[in-house]
Amino acid sequence: MNILITGGAGYIGSHVVKLLLENTDSDVTVIDNLVTGFESTIDELKKIRDFDFIKADLSNWNEIEGIFKARKFEAIIHFAASLIVPESVENPLKYYLNNTANTANLVKLANDYGVKKFVFSSTAATYGEPDISEIGNGIKEDFPTNPINPYGQSKLFSEKIIQDTAKANPEFKYVIFRYFNVAGAAPDLSIGQKTKNATHLIKVASECACGKRDGMYIFGTDYPTPDGTCIRDYIHVMDLADAHIKALEYLENNESDIFNVGYGKGASVKEVIDTVKKVSGVDFKVQDAPRRAGDPAMLISNCDKIKQKMNWTPKYDDLEFICKTAYEWEKKI
């Protein structure tokens, strides 16, 4: 299959490229502007086998159309986006342009050039702040979507654009993934998360364990959770990457759909920090701080749908393993 990966030099995209190169004979083209992605990641991936990397910005619609004209893509996996929530509050237009407008253009090109499969990186942020008393067995895909920041809203708009396009063009099929909290590195430590000034909990704790930060804060210790800190559903990046490979297979014979991807269980901020301390053997400094605006107390997925419909079975559903790969990767870079 001839596959376009946008954002393939970034964290999650690069792990999907790795699996595609290792486990399929697909022709892979990566488009990335390297704003938060890394050419060194592309170089590492090229050690598996060669593929085309095009440094381009999705906002250059003419240039992107030129790439579609020159290559007959059969599938697109669209990761490229801006994803810092506080920045999206300060600069919403950056998010509506990069995430929503550029996605609309990509979907248009997919339509114009007959691309039949579109896999999209959406987020649990589309659910906003679900009522903790209603979460029960996890947030299902049909829970109300009420994003509380422009980042989540920009992704929800993109979802609608993709869905409406598929309604109008039955040849165009999609899988929309709503990721929960993604962490860890490839178990062979060839690639991992390089994000600068990351705010992701496991990345930050791993940086502390490696002495790259003096310490870290826990934002809010008075949430209605057993230890008072927020609960999230952490998924190993390689299991998430595998879901994308499954999605391409799924779209051969099945209808478009939205799927959560997580493990359907949660860990608190305190539990995660303790786990990073345990796997690293380093007792770094942690201070309590007030809650941040817009942090829901608990986000846990219900992942029954992806398990049943895509036959997706996670391999690394183990917080210690997630934290260990994140820490060992952090030590390496």
Ligand X SMILES: NC(=O)c1ccc[n+]([C@@H]2O[C@H](COP(=O)([O-])OP(=O)(O)OC[C@H]3O[C@@H](n4cnc5c(N)ncnc54)[C@H](O)[C@@H]3O)[C@@H](O)[C@H]2O)c1
Q: Which amino acids are annotated catalytic?
A: 151
| Binding flag, residue 73, ligand X (CB under 6 A) | no
Contact 223/230 with Cβ under 8 angstroms? yes
Residue 229 binds ligand X (CB under 6 A): no
**For ligand X, the closer CB: 85 or 251:** 85
Amino acid of residue 287: Q
How far apart, in whole angstroms, are the C-alpha atoms of residue 73 and residue 52?
13
State the chain's maximal CA–CA distance in angstroms: 56
* Contact yes or no for 175/250 (Cβ under 8 A): yes
121 binds ligand X (CB under 6 A): yes
Among 10, 262, 266, 296, the residue binding ligand X under the rule CB under 6 A is: 10
Report, in Å, the least distance between residue 328 CB and ligand X: 19
* 165/195 with CB nearer ligand X: 195
Query: Counting Cβ atoms within 10 Å, is residue 155 exposed (0-12), middle (13-18) or buried (19+)?
Result: buried
DSSP-derived 3-state class of residue 111: helix
C-beta of residue 192 within 8 angstroms of C-beta of residue 185? yes
d(CA 184, CA 203) in angstroms, rounded, equals 8
Contact 126, 155 (CB under 8 A): yes
By the rule CB under 6 A, 29 interacts with ligand X: no
Which of 18, 37, 157, 185 touches ligand X by CB under 6 A?
A: 37
In whole angstroms, the minimum distance from the beta carbon of 70 to ligand X comes to 17
Q: Can you tell me whether residue 258 is helix, strand or coil?
A: strand
Give how many residues touch ligand X by CB under 6 A.
28
Q: Which stretch binds ligand X (CB under 6 A): 57-65, 245-253, 278-286, 315-323?
A: 57-65
How many angstroms separate the CA atoms of 205 and 213, rounded? 9
Residues 155-184: x where in contact with ligand X by CB under 6 A, - otherwise, as a string: ------------------------x-xx--
- Least distance in angstroms from the C-beta of 281 to ligand X: 26
Cβ 63 to ligand X shortest distance, Å: 10
Residue 241 touches ligand X, criterion: CB under 6 A? no
CB 60, min distance to ligand X, A: 8
Distance (Å, whole) CA 25 – CA 13: 17
Q: How far apart are CA 12 and CA 96, in angstroms?
A: 21
Nearer Cβ to ligand X (54/286): 54
Nearest to 186 by CA among 321, 40, 34, 1: 321
Q: Which stretch binds ligand X (CB under 6 A): 30-38, 264-272, 291-299, 315-323?
A: 30-38
Task: Give the phi and the psi of residue 113 in degrees, each rounded to 5.
Answer: -105, 15
- 323 is a contact residue toward ligand X (CB under 6 A): no
Per CB under 6 A, does 329 bind ligand X? no
Of 102 and 206, CB closest to ligand X: 102
C-beta of 170: minimal distance to ligand X in Å?
26
Using CB under 6 A as the binding rule, whether residue 35 contacts ligand X is answered as yes
Strands 117-123 and 75-78: parallel
Which amino acid appears at position 271 of this protein?
Answer: E
Under the rule (CB under 6 A), what is the footprint of ligand X? 7, 9-13, 31-37, 57-59, 79-81, 83, 98, 102, 121, 123, 179, 181-182, 195
